[in-house]
Structure 1
Amino acid sequence: MKLIIGNKAYSSWSMRGWLACKQSGLHFEELTVPLFGEDWDDIRTSENFAPSGGKVPILWDGETVIWDSLAIIDWLADKTHRDRFWPKDETARGMARSMAAEMHSSYMALRKQCPMNTRKKYEGLQFSPEVVQDADRILRLWAEARARFGSGGPFLFGTFGAVDIMYAPVVSRFLTYGFQVPGFAQSYMQTILEHEWIETWMESAEDEPWVIERLETPETVKG
């Protein structure tokens, strides 16, 4: 398998696809391409990118191409064992799938106003009501998952799985933009940040030479 991802410092969806591949336990080749650089137009229309319309991540598995992080999770769950990604209990699994889908389709204010940048940390920011609403919703879901299904370990549903993969970039955003979160969320965020794969991703992001200027001073921190 070959996984094509964007800059690790900025690409939240790439992070999800990469973590999914790691969680699968299958061998994969990793190819990082700098997003929006001077060669970006040529890269995103190349043969490797064509099926996705120029989006990352893209997983090539033989002749099969899967783009979109949630689709990659499902593909790898089917190839390996669904228990690697989703809770065994059907009630927990129903909530986990709903949370993953909500992350996939929602929280537009948080995404737009607080783009992922693993190399930055801000303090004392004022967030729009829409961002606060997104963050509150996420924290409520984390709290419910931990309270109802988290007894088997420190992750949202006990053990590391698809939902943690989908929300890992949110942990990064909360850290970058200095969100004030309750104690249980601080503990969960620390658990994610100390996971060996997350640490590897963050270290690689620090070493990247590429900079996307518009993401270095997003709207949230201007003025």
Structure 2
Amino acid sequence: MVETPIPVLVIGDKNLSSWSMRPWVALHAAGIAFDEVRIKLRTETSKAEILRHSPAGKVPALKLGAVAIGESIAICEWAAENAKTPILPQDPVARAVCRAAGAEMHAGFGALRNECPMDMLARFANHPISDQCLGDITRIDALWNDCRRQWGQGGPYLFGAWSLADAMFAPVVSRFITYDLRVSPAARAYLEVASHHPSYMAWAEGARAEAAI
């Protein structure tokens, strides 16, 4: 019998790489064993090092033997399909809404990304934001509240139990905390819970360890 190789997740710096964080926490929460290769970003050799693993020249990439899967949302979906601990709701409608929430995060909120880049270990007070960024924050707040109200009865996360949607929004949780962005009380409660999920905390611990080197 041919052994299936252990998945290898190629990521950037844990303090800065929001796209890397999403699949890392998804794989971790799904109970999937994986190795990681970390590439320091923003150096003269970063691009060349990434291209050794990812034909697209971007992180993250999930290596399954000779196959490299790019795009955070695709890797999160792979994690959901191979999970030891489920990270998608059982209800088919809730599953579809969960995927839609993750896809909205993947495709949108450009003002928030640009004006509040992920910096997990930093804390900024009175960070200036544009009206466009405020619009992104307002939409995310409403989306979180809608998910919690409609699907969150079974637990404290967006769809009750921790899910793919929580993975996709994990770097947003980090951004909201870093920049102390104003959100509703319900969204603030979600931030508190989400930032104490074991997978989120394991990633944050990795960020602190990298910063100490």
State the TM-score, normalizing by the size of structure 2.
0.91
Task: Spell out the pairing of 1:66-105 with structure 2 (5 A cutoff).
Answer: 66-80=69-83, 84-105=86-107
Query: What is the Cα deviation at residue 210 of structure 1?
Result: 9.0
Match of residue 148, structure 1, among 120, 133, 150: 150
Distance verdict in 2 for CA 1:24–1:63, change over 3 Å = farther
Query: What is the Cα deviation at residue 77 of structure 1?
Result: 2.2
Q: 2:50 touches 2:59 (CA, 8 Å); kept in 1?
A: no
Distance 2:174 2:79 in 1: 24
Divergent runs of 4+, >3 A: none
Partner SS, residue 171 of structure 2: helix
Q: 2:80 touches 2:164 (CA, 8 Å); kept in 1?
A: no
Distance 2:80 2:180 in 1: 34
Partner SS, residue 43 of structure 1: helix
Query: What is the Cα deviation at residue 206 of structure 1?
Result: 1.8
Runs of 5+ in structure 2 lacking a partner?
Answer: 1-6
The residue that corresponds to 1:13 in the other structure is 19
Query: What is the Cα deviation at residue 92 of structure 1?
Result: 1.5
The residue that corresponds to 1:130 in the other structure is 132
The residue that corresponds to 1:59 in the other structure is 62
Distance verdict in 2 for CA 1:110–1:210, change over 3 Å = farther
Query: What is the Cα deviation at residue 209 of structure 1?
Result: 4.1
Q: 1:86 touches 1:162 (CA, 8 Å); kept in 2?
A: yes
Distance 2:199 2:95 in 1: 23
**Quick check: 154-163 or 115-124, which moved more?**
115-124
Distance 1:140 1:209 in 2: 34
Task: Spell out the pairing of 1:1-223 with structure 2 (5 A cutoff).
Answer: 1-46=7-52, 48-49=53-54, 51=55, 53-80=56-83, 84-209=86-211
Distance 1:70 1:204 in 2: 22
Partner SS, residue 37 of structure 2: strand
State the TM-score, normalizing by the size of structure 1.
0.87
Render the CA deviation track for 1:14-73: whole Å, top value 9, x for unaligned.
Answer: 000101211231211111110121321321332x12x2x211111111222211111001
Identical residues among aligned pairs (%) = 38
The residue that corresponds to 2:3 in the other structure is none
Query: What is the Cα deviation at residue 135 of structure 1?
Result: 0.4
Distance 2:151 2:37 in 1: 36
Q: 2:119 touches 2:178 (CA, 8 Å); kept in 1?
A: yes
Distance verdict in 2 for CA 1:71–1:210, change over 3 Å = farther
